[in-house]
């Protein structure tokens, strides 16, 4: 189920049922937590948008580029650009009939795969099919990956050796496509097969992880430690690693692995020259954690609800409307409001000022709405997803602006960053 469609309570139930997710949310609130620095970032900063899919995808990337100074231009970058040009040349100006033939072939092989996979046939024929039943059968998808890998190998071999194909109509269609000048069929297949490698390399080459570290103020070694830790507790899984040598300029040795490998183990020497190889890896984030990061509530709201629950503090969530991330907490002092706001990491003091103005304007509006409902609030917090302790002068200027002074005084509003949450929760108990 898409986490964007379930309530905050249901999200927390999923967390409580998983020891590794419970550990994650315990550790995210530890002092100077690297998890918090990374995962309280905006979802579009954590996860890149891959190719034509214009939305963040739940993948984390790691590379070892920092261990050595890469010479420019990078050989792997050059190869990626050449492959892209060849792919474009392999598919120019198709006529309409050929497109229909390609479509028919895709569906033919898709249906054939469904028929060949015993586990998929079992699911299709299942009388009481359900999401839980599917997950129970597929588990971690390893058996399905094995079926697909074997099938793709068989298909590739048959397409490269047309004589192996027994179906006369299928053989005729493929032969017709092979005659087309605009379609370099063998090369098209050769380039299409390592598409995942392109997904593995592109964000790494563009420095996605390094950019995230810079925005969140952490060292790449600290980021690597987080990847190692998440891998160890099985909250991420390596789906592909690409190794290549930048020293061998005549012919670049490239190796692709789909084994489960942590960054600590990603060490390989070139078989040609013996020098350490560069490596780029892509890690798939645990499905539930990925959904929590990508959901409309944002991970900060889920983490706040988690720590409130753990400390026995009752609350109502989204009390103004379903689009707001406000918590109305019952404490020993009375009603306390905490308003969450997820922003992209600030570039400078002006960005912080803008974020503060936005959240203060919003929380004052919400508190006035509660006042009209005769809800008496004794204290309020405007919570941002980064460390506000680094910007005391900005906070002072914003809270003293004429349009905020009265509301801040009446409702006792205090702007805070995520680092302040554990101490405040202890006070609210």
Longest dimension (CA), the chain: 83
283 lies in the same domain as 329: no
225 lies in the same domain as 319: no
State yes or no: pLDDT of 13 exceeds 90: yes
State yes or no: pLDDT of 163 exceeds 90: no
- When comparing pLDDT for 251 and 330, which is higher? 330
274 lies in the same domain as 338: no
What was the pLDDT predicted at 260?
Answer: 83
What was the pLDDT predicted at 182?
Answer: 42
What was the pLDDT predicted at 200?
Answer: 61
Per the domain annotation, does 268 fall within a domain?
yes
Last residue of a domain, one of 234, 258, 293: 293
209 lies in the same domain as 69: yes
What was the pLDDT predicted at 336?
Answer: 95
317 lies in the same domain as 415: yes
Do 257 and 268 meet the contact criterion of CB atoms below 8 Å apart? no
Last residue of a domain, one of 242, 262, 293: 293
281 lies in the same domain as 374: no
pLDDT, tens digit (0-9, with 9 covering 90-100), for 222-247: 999 999 999 999 999 988 888 888 78
pTM over 0.95: no
Residues of the chain with pLDDT > 90: what percent?
A: 44
262 lies in the same domain as 344: no
159 lies in the same domain as 210: no
For the chain, how many structural domains are there in total?
A: 3
Per the domain annotation, does 240 fall within a domain?
yes
* Full residue range of the structural domain in which residue 330 is found: 311-428
Which residues are 413's β-sheet partners?
Answer: 380
Using H for helix, E for strand and C for coil, what is the string for the chain?
CCHHHCCHHHHHHHHHCCHHHHHHHHHHCCCCCHHHHHHCCCHHHHCCECCCCCCECCEEEEECHHHCCCCCCCHHHHHHHHHHHHHHHCCCCCCHHHHHHHHHHHHHHHHHHHHHCHHHHHHHHCCCCCHHHHHHHHCCCHHHHHHHHHHHHHHHHHHHCHHHCCCHHHHHHHHHHHHCCCCCHHHHHHHHCCHHHHHHHHHHHCCHHHHHHHHHCCCHHHHHHHHHHHHHCCCEEEEEEEEECCCCCCCCCEEEECCCCCHHHCCCECCCCCCECEEEEEEEECHHHHHHHHCCCCHHHHHHHHHHHHCCCEEEECCCCCCCCEEEEEECCEEEEEEEECCCCCCCHHHHHHHHHHHHHHHHHHHHHHHHCCCCEEEEEEEECCCHHHCHHHHHHHHCCHHHHHHHHHHCEEEEEHHHHHHHHHHHC
Which of 87-96, 106-115, 118-127 is the most confident on average?
A: 118-127
What was the pLDDT predicted at 48?
Answer: 83
Give mean pLDDT, residues 329-358. Answer: 94
CA dist., res. 191 & res. 170, Å (int): 23
State yes or no: pLDDT of 32 exceeds 70: yes
pLDDT band per the 50, 70, 90 thresholds, residue 2: very low
Which of 72-81, 205-214, 326-335 is the most confident on average?
A: 326-335
Per the domain annotation, does 412 fall within a domain?
yes
Per the domain annotation, does 86 fall within a domain?
no
Per the domain annotation, does 301 fall within a domain?
no
Last residue of a domain, one of 183, 207, 233: 183
What was the pLDDT predicted at 231?
Answer: 94
pLDDT band per the 50, 70, 90 thresholds, residue 80: low
């Amino acid at each position: 189920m898409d986490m964007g469609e379930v309530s905050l309570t249901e999200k927390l139930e999923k967390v409580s049922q998983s020891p590794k997710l419970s550990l994650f949310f315990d550790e995210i609130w530890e002092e100077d937590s690297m998890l918090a620095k990374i995962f309280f970032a905006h979802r579009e900063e954590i996860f890149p948008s891959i190719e034509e899919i214009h939305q963040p995808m739940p993948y984390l990337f790691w590379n070892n580029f920092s261990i050595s100074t890469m010479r420019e231009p990078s050989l792997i970058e050059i190869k990626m650009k050449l492959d892209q040009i060849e792919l474009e040349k392999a598919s120019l100006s198709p006529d309409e009939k050929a497109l229909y033939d390609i479509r028919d072939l895709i569906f033919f092989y898709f249906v054939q795969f469904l028929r060949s996979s015993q586990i998929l046939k079992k699911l299709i024929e299942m009388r009481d099919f359900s999401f839980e039943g599917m997950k129970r059968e597929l588990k971690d998808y390893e058996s399905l990956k094995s079926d697909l890998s074997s099938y793709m190998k068989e298909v590739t071999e048959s397409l490269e050796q047309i004589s192996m194909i027994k179906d006369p109509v299928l053989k005729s269609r493929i032969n017709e496509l092979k005659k087309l000048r605009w379609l370099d069929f063998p090369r098209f297949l050769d380039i299409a097969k390592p598409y995942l490698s392109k997904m593995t390399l592109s964000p790494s080459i563009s420095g996605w992880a390094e950019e995230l570290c810079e925005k969140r103020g952490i060292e790449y070694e600290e980021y690597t430690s987080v990847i190692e830790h998440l891998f160890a507790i099985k909250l991420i899984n390596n789906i592909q690693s690409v190794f290549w040598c930048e020293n061998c300029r005549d012919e670049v040795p490239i190796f692709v692995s789909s084994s489960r490998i942590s960054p600590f183990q990603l060490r390989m020497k070139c078989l040609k020259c013996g020098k350490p190889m560069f490596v780029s890896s892509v890690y798939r984030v645990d499905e539930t954690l990925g959904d929590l990061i990508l959901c409309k509530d944002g991970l900060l709201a889920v983490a706040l609800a988690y720590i409130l629950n753990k400390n026995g503090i009752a609350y109502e969530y989204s009390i103004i409307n379903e689009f707001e991330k406000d918590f109305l907490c019952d404490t020993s002092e009375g009603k306390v409001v905490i308003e969450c706001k997820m922003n992209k990491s600030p570039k400078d003091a002006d960005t912080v000022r803008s974020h503060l103005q936005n959240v203060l304007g919003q929380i004052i509006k919400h508190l006035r709405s509660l006042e009209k409902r005769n809800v008496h609030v004794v204290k309020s917090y405007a919570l941002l997803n980064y460390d506000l302790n680094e910007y005391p002068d900005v906070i002072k200027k914003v809270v003293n602006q004429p349009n905020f002074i009265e509301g801040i005084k009446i409702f006792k509003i205090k702007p805070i960053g995520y680092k302040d949450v554990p101490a405040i929760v202890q006070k609210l108990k």
